[in-house]
């Protein structure tokens, strides 16, 4: 999943027809964005992550790279340092998302661009629904067992409040098939823990699920969402976002009321042609 999303972020970098002398990868993990970039597009890359082991085991890349152990909410760089900031799936795990966005905006140069990806609100809806129904049935109530996700409407607002303009936010879905619910949860708690952290981070989370509840959830999962081949899907919704730091050279919207053509005239175009 992480290499796939990293590749899609790199595609968005390539869509911008310029060379970035200095770029920052926030929450880089093992460098799943960097492996898709080229030195013709990014001349130097700084990779930042709180997990030192992830940085040490980063995938090799042709771009000259500097690795820094730091928190996404406290970036140790001066204002107006980077031409490009990228981030793949790590911002879902920060404690203070508005502050992280402000930190990214702070270290960007004017006319610099931020391109990132986060998990969306429909991520793992099959798992969450199955667990809730099973808990309601077996225990008379339910508690969250997957970390909360950001809504797409809130994401644009948070980016704008941090100072970004010319915003673009689009969504995508990636579906992964598993043998069953237990394999889904094992994967989330195992190999994805560094890049996703999908064990629940809520301070008031329930410490464990009873065996009977888990078995009921597995049966509900298979009954409601199971594939014809016996596997079950896990859906990951991805938000891709692009935001620019203001510079006077950037295109500006026209003033309100300055239009010379009305949208109502669009109906007349076919007759004119």
CATH class of 1-248: alpha beta
Closest by alpha carbon to 13, among 24, 27, 2, 28? 24
Per-residue confidence (pLDDT) for residue 265, from 0 to 100: 76
The rounded distance, in Å, linking the Cα atoms of 204 and 199 is: 13
Average pLDDT value for the chain: 86
Profile the chain (273 residues) by mean pLDDT over runs of 10 residues.
90 95 94 93 95 88 93 93 95 89 96 94 90 83 66 87 93 93 84 41 53 90 94 94 88 76 74 67
Per-residue confidence (pLDDT) for residue 207, from 0 to 100: 52
Task: Sketch the domain layout of the chain as residue ranges.
Answer: 1-248
Per-residue confidence (pLDDT) for residue 148, from 0 to 100: 67
HSE at residue 242, side-chain half, CA atoms within 13 A, is 15
DSSP conformation letters of 10-58: HHHHHTS-S-BSSEEEET-TTTTTGGG--TTTBS-EEEEES-HHHHHTP
pLDDT digit string, tens, across residues 84-126: 999 999 888 888 999 999 999 999 999 999 999 999 888 999 9
The rounded distance, in Å, linking the Cα atoms of 55 and 67 is: 7
Per-residue confidence (pLDDT) for residue 268, from 0 to 100: 75
Per-residue confidence (pLDDT) for residue 141, from 0 to 100: 65
CB 82 within 8 Å of CB 24: yes
Nearest-10 Cα torsion for 111, 116, 122, 126: 170
Bridge-based pairing state of the strands 108-119 and 65-69: unpaired
């Amino acid at each position: 999943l992480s290499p796939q999303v990293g590749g899609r972020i790199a595609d968005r970098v390539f869509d911008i027809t310029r060379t970035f002398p200095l770029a920052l990868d926030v929450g880089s993990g093992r460098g799943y964005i960097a492996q898709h970039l080229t030195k013709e597009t990014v001349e130097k890359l700084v990779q930042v992550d709180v997990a030192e082991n992830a940085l040490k085991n980063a995938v090799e890349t042709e771009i000259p790279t500097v690795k820094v152990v730091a928190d996404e909410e406290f970036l140790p760089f001066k204002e107006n340092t980077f031409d490009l900031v990228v981030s793949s799936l790590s911002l879902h795990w920060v404690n203070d998302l508005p502050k992280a966005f402000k930190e990214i905006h702070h270290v960007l140069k004017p006319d610099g661009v931020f391109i990132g990806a986060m998990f969306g609100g429909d991520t793992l809806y099959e798992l969450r629904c199955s667990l809730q129904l099973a808990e309601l049935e077996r225990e008379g109530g339910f508690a969250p067992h997957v970390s909360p996700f950001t809504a797409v409407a809130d994401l644009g607002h948070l980016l704008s409040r941090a100072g970004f303009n010319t915003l673009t936010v689009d969504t995508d879905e990636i579906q992964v098939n598993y043998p069953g619910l237990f394999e889904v949860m094992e994967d989330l708690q195992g190999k994805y823990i560094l890049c996703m952290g999908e064990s629940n981070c809520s301070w008031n989370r329930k410490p464990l699920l009873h065996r009977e509840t888990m078995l009921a959830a597995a049966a509900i999962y298979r009954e409601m969402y199971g594939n014809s081949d016996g596997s079950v899907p896990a859906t990951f919704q991805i938000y891709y976002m692009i935001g620019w730091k203001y510079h006077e050279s950037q295109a500006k919207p026209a003033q309100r009321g300055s239009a010379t053509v009305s949208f109502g005239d669009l109906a007349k175009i076919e007759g004119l042609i």
